[in-house]
Amino acid sequence: MSDENRIIDSNSDEFERSQELALRPKTLAEFVGQKRVADQLDLLLSAARNRKAPADHVLLSGPPGLGKTTLAMIIASEMNAPIRITSGPAIQHAGDLASILSSLVEGEILFLDEIHRMSRPAEELLYLAMEDFRVDVIVGKGAGATAIPLELPHFTLVGATTRAGLLPSPLRDRFGFTAQLDFYEDSELSIIVKRSADLMGIEIDKEAINELGSRSRGTPRVANRLLRRVRDFAQVHSNGKVGINEAKSALEMYEVDEIGLDRLDLGVLEALVKRFNGGPVGISTLAMAIGEEAETIESLAEPFLVRMGFISRTPRGRIATPAGFEHLGLTPPIGAQNLAGNQIGLFDTPASDA
């Protein structure tokens, strides 16, 4: 099962993408959650406006669906500047990046999603562009090659990454502000669900709102996707109004459990517990066991499972905690508690699969 097919994190069609765009807040005042980051950004942008200068470069880091793209668009809106959107995988050659940079206008926002996946030659070109606002264009080959400096307008780079640890230090150091986005509280997600329901014209009661908020994995994107699926269920099986019964029935149909785990999450947890007796096991081995890509597990399932305390990352590999065993209705083996104590940070270097 690929990550595009996950009910909580897929781009199913053009209509849903346009709806998702319409639900995005346009200003920091409308942005729900991430108060610390929002306050820091507000100060950064207000100071830049007072100076009548482009804002410093901004790096947004955190798991998918927490609002990195939304914040990039808000930065452009708050600075009253145009925004250019591209992604790391799309920039495989230094010439690709040079073409984009040379076409920017003064004060423009360049949003570079998945910046950690940009090619190394493009990264090295970006260092100079971010710091000195120029690039060196190489003309000719071999001994006769000449570097011609090309001046760039002052722009603001907004980079987004789910894997901040993969960014080289010279690139990270050139960002004037780095924000680590955290998972949302259930109460914040309930506010987001209510706002989205109002914008979409969905009649939904408070109990159903809170149910969706508590099953949204701390992620606004998930909350909005689940809201649409619950709306579909209510339109087909009832009068269109979403009550607590409709919400629970729809979420059960889409295999989202009472705390928000979906099929991929449960597949990872069950493989770790039932096939490997709780681990430790390397991420590549775990990925092969469930027929998934290691990167999909690391970016989509693992952050939430670690946050819930169901698995841990240790120098020896991934392990299931006693809470993970108990969530599946199983008794943890003797010694599982001691293994769980050896966990390392969520975004540290993964343990070797050797």
Decide if pLDDT at 90 tops 80.
Answer: yes
Decide if pLDDT at 180 tops 60.
Answer: yes
Task: Please give the Cα distance from 47 to 100 (Å, whole number).
Answer: 27
Q: What is residue 1's predicted lDDT score, i.e. its pLDDT?
A: 44
Would residue 69 show up in a list of annotated catalytic residues for this protein?
yes
Contacts of 149 (CB under 8 A, 6+ apart): 134, 135, 136, 137
Task: Assign 140 a pLDDT band (cuts: 50, 70, 90).
Answer: low
On whether the CB atoms of residues 108 and 155 are closer than 8 A, the answer is yes
Q: What are the E-state strand segments in the chain? A: 58-61, 83-87, 109-113, 134-139, 146-151, 156-161, 177-180, 311-314, 317-320
Fold for the domain defined by 263-340? Arc Repressor Mutant, subunit A (1.10.10)
Q: Domain extents for the chain?
A: 34-180, 186-253, 263-340
Q: Name the least confident of 18-27, 55-64, 310-319.
A: 18-27
Would residue 162 show up in a list of annotated catalytic residues for this protein?
yes
Q: State the catalytic residue, choosing from 6, 9, 70, 113.
A: 113
Distances (CA, A) of 134 to 90, 101, 105: 21, 9, 13
Contacts of 239 (CB under 8 A, 6+ apart): none
Q: State the catalytic residue, choosing from 6, 9, 69, 215.
A: 69
**For residue 106, how far is the Cα from the chain centroid?**
29
Q: State the catalytic residue, choosing from 221, 228, 263, 318.
A: 221
Task: Assign 83 a pLDDT band (cuts: 50, 70, 90).
Answer: very high
Each residue's pLDDT tens digit, 212-230: 999 998 899 999 999 999 9
Q: What is residue 317's predicted lDDT score, i.e. its pLDDT?
A: 86
The secondary structure of 327-352 as a DSSP string is: HTT-PPPTTHHHHHTT-B-TTSPPPP
Same fold, 186-253 and 263-340: no
The secondary structure of 257-289 as a DSSP string is: -TTS--HHHHHHHHIIIIISTT--B-HHHHHHH
| Stretch (H or E) spanning 76 | helix 68-78
Would residue 263 show up in a list of annotated catalytic residues for this protein?
no
Q: State the catalytic residue, choosing from 6, 9, 68, 70.
A: 68
Task: Assign 330 a pLDDT band (cuts: 50, 70, 90).
Answer: confident
Would residue 113 show up in a list of annotated catalytic residues for this protein?
yes
Would residue 262 show up in a list of annotated catalytic residues for this protein?
no
- The architecture that CATH gives domain 34-180 is 3-Layer(aba) Sandwich (3.40)
Fold for the domain defined by 186-253? Helicase, Ruva Protein; domain 3 (1.10.8)
